[in-house]
Amino acid sequence: MSIAPATPHASAPAVRLRVPTDEDALTWYRVFDDPEVMEFFGGRRADFSVYEELTARQRRHDAELGYCLWTLTDEADTVLGFTGAQPWPHTHYGPVGAIEIGWRLGRTAMGARVRHRRRPRRVGAGAGGRGGRGGRDDPLP
């Protein structure tokens, strides 16, 4: 069995993770002020106070648990967004007590996006039913 040589990583963009600072609250507030970035959060930016609380909570998580939603920066220390993990922050819905894996990228860090327009699909009677391919009545995209 042969082993392929390691691929050089010189061309890959370098990113860094760091514990969010007090200043990151304002930076996150500005970086995430974009309807597309906030698409899954109602399309509106959160109040500045939300980011103050969020960055403070992440510093506490890092100190107490050793992980948090870290600030993601590029080689020039420009904030790109955040990524990491945190305890699920809600007690009245969702996976209470679980660890949430999360990320959010600012618009400039999103790169090219491909949007898919979904069309309605009909589901047949199952794998043995009239739908054929596992019950699907329409061709796969």
Domain locations in the chain as residue ranges: 15-109
CB neighbours (10 Å) of residue 104?
A: 18
CATH number of 15-109: 3.40.630.30
List pLDDT tens digits, range 80-108: 999 999 999 899 998 999 999 999 999 88
Backbone angles phi, psi at 16, to 5 degrees: -130, 155
Find where tokens 């980011």 sit. Answer: 51
Label residue 115 by pLDDT band (50, 70, 90).
very low
| Predicted local confidence at residue 120, as pLDDT | 44
What lies within 8 Å, CB to CB, of 118 at 6+ separation is: none
Q: Answer yes or no: are the C-beta atoms of 71 and 44 closer than 8 Å.
A: no
Q: Answer yes or no: are the C-beta atoms of 90 and 97 closer than 8 Å.
A: no
pTM of the model: 0.68
